[in-house]
Amino acid sequence: MKDKSRSFASWFFVGLIVLGVGLLGWSLRPSALDGEAIAVASATPAGEVPIPTRTPLPDGEVMAAASVTPVTAVFTQTPLPTKTPTPTKTATPTQTPSRTPAPSRTARPTSTATRLLATAVSAPTVAVTETAVVVETAVPTPTPEPLPTNTPVPAPASPGPIVPGYHERFGVVGGNSSFVAAVDAGLPVGTFMNWHVDPTQPMRYGVRFWHTIRLGPGGVLTNWADIDRVLAEQPGAVWVIGNEPDVVVQDNLTPQAYARIFHTTVNYIKGRDPSAKIAIAGVSQPTPLRMAYLDIVLDTYQAEYGTPMPIDIWTVHAFVLREEAGSWGVGIPPGMGGAGARLYEISDHGNLDIIKQNLVEFRAWMAGRGYQERPLAVTEYGIVMPHDYGFSPEMVADFMVRSFDYFVNAGNGTGYGADNGRLVQWWFWFSLYEGQEGYGTGNLYDAATNQLTPLGWTFANYVGQ
């Protein structure tokens, strides 16, 4: 019995030891619940979508699209393009600017004090300095209007033939205030532009108004309320998207920036008025350098939007002005070098043969880019140099008549087929009335007398014959 008790005690003691070891091992085992808690803590909540990574904006892209952050200041009226005053003649060969030049249409060349003969057109004795004329007061750059939200629409197909009647072909550009008075005085204008979008523009005698949306490096400058009103009240209007984007003192855009702003602006217009006619901005002159600028515009549009640029009407300005940085004329387009620039002289300014050749080459370029079957408007041309630079009233009148003869009749195999191969469908004389000193060479109307000028009667008699 004692042995059994001792044996039982021994086995009981061994059992306690085994039980203690087992309990210790159980307490050290990894918990499944702990693992589940960790898994839940690291999982994405059900139904939540991870935030996508934002794609950075391409270098150089102008924020003129629907995503542009609205600016505080609102520019309510686009100013008329400022013209540089006639420089004071001096024997001093150069000037040193004391302030930033004011934006102007074209920097004017300086000349010696020797007055030119009225007949000396081919080779006037004018000494051109390399320094552009400056204006004493700098003009502030207007704040661009934010672009309203819009939904892009597909590029439209060709609108079909657009062929103006005889009277409509004869256009004029100029200030709005003199338009009605000039028409009432007997000026038979067919089409009119004033570098603005103007829903209140008074129309008389069947004159058609073309709206111009002004642009800048920040986007659209024109008041969007005016654009919306015209879209609502004037369906089928002609919209010119910009003015001389290739000129630093005008809309001042690189070709890539112009293509992007054009795209967003046209989508906005066409989305509200599918019958609207879209015209590309006129470059300052149809030279090889400006056509290279337009090549980049078209190529950028095609590459970024996968379709040819939707242009209903092509426009171009047809001046003969020097293409050189820091000189008189139109300078070098923004974002480009000067390869192929034309270094015209003052004596070339009224050379109609140069204008004819440039337009022939421009029409051939249009055909090569696939736009032969689009009408072409020369939306600015004329004589902008003062009379005493060798451009007498008689010479200017002769230039006008010969240019009209050319525009009415000129055509070839690259012309607009719907218009019997004519090269140009509209032409706009510069200018109706420029009151600023030195820019009245081409005036058709005199606001001081409320009468047509002799040149205005030349215009009227040609259109009426």
CATH at 350? 3.20.20.80
Structural domain range at position 374: 167-464
Taking only the tens place, the pLDDT of each residue in 350-383 is: 999 999 999 999 999 999 999 999 999 999 999 9
Least trusted range by pLDDT, from 10-14, 242-246, 334-338, 386-390: 10-14
- Per the domain annotation, does 79 fall within a domain? no
Q: How many domains does the chain have?
A: 1
pLDDT > 70 fraction of the chain, expressed in percent and rounded: 65
Which of the listed ranges 1-5, 201-205, 277-281 does the model predict with the highest average pLDDT? 277-281
Q: What pLDDT is stored for residue 160 in this prediction?
A: 85
Q: What pLDDT is stored for residue 439 in this prediction?
A: 82
Q: What pLDDT is stored for residue 436 in this prediction?
A: 78
Taking only the tens place, the pLDDT of each residue in 129-153 is: 333 333 333 334 445 545 444 444 4
Taking only the tens place, the pLDDT of each residue in 151-191 is: 444 434 667 899 999 999 999 999 878 998 999 999 999 99
Tokens of 32: 């499944």
Q: What pLDDT is stored for residue 205 in this prediction?
A: 74
CA distance 56 to 175: 43
Q: What pLDDT is stored for residue 27 in this prediction?
A: 44
Q: How confident is the model at residue 69 (pLDDT cuts 50, 70, 90)?
A: very low
Mean per-residue pLDDT over the chain, rounded: 76
Q: What pLDDT is stored for residue 16 in this prediction?
A: 54
Taking only the tens place, the pLDDT of each residue in 189-205 is: 999 999 999 998 766 67
Cis peptide bond N-terminal to 431, omega within 30: yes
- Per the domain annotation, does 278 fall within a domain? yes
Nearest to 318, CA basis, from 345, 353, 366, 278: 353
3 state SS of 252: coil
CA distance 140 to 369: 38
Tokens of 251: 């809309």
- Per the domain annotation, does 210 fall within a domain? yes
Q: How confident is the model at residue 76 (pLDDT cuts 50, 70, 90)?
A: very low
- Decide if pLDDT at 232 tops 90: yes
- Per the domain annotation, does 454 fall within a domain? yes
Q: What pLDDT is stored for residue 144 in this prediction?
A: 54
Q: How confident is the model at residue 249 (pLDDT cuts 50, 70, 90)?
A: very high
pLDDT > 90 fraction of the chain, expressed in percent and rounded: 62
Q: Is 366 left (phi over 0), alpha (psi -120 to 50) or beta?
A: alpha
- Per the domain annotation, does 402 fall within a domain? yes
Taking only the tens place, the pLDDT of each residue in 411-425 is: 999 999 999 999 999
- Per the domain annotation, does 332 fall within a domain? yes
- Burial grade of 148 (CB within 10 A; 0-12, 13-18, 19 or more): middle
Q: What pLDDT is stored for residue 49 in this prediction?
A: 32
Q: What pLDDT is stored for residue 437 in this prediction?
A: 73
Q: Tell me what the mean pLDDT of segment 385-397 comes to.
A: 96
Backbone dihedral angles phi then psi of residue 315, each to the nearest 5 degrees: -130, 155
Q: How confident is the model at residue 332 (pLDDT cuts 50, 70, 90)?
A: very high
Q: How confident is the model at residue 6 (pLDDT cuts 50, 70, 90)?
A: very low
- Alpha-carbon separation of residue 272 from 150, 232, 260, 422 (angstroms): 10, 8, 19, 32
Q: Tell me what the mean pLDDT of segment 23-42 comes to.
A: 38
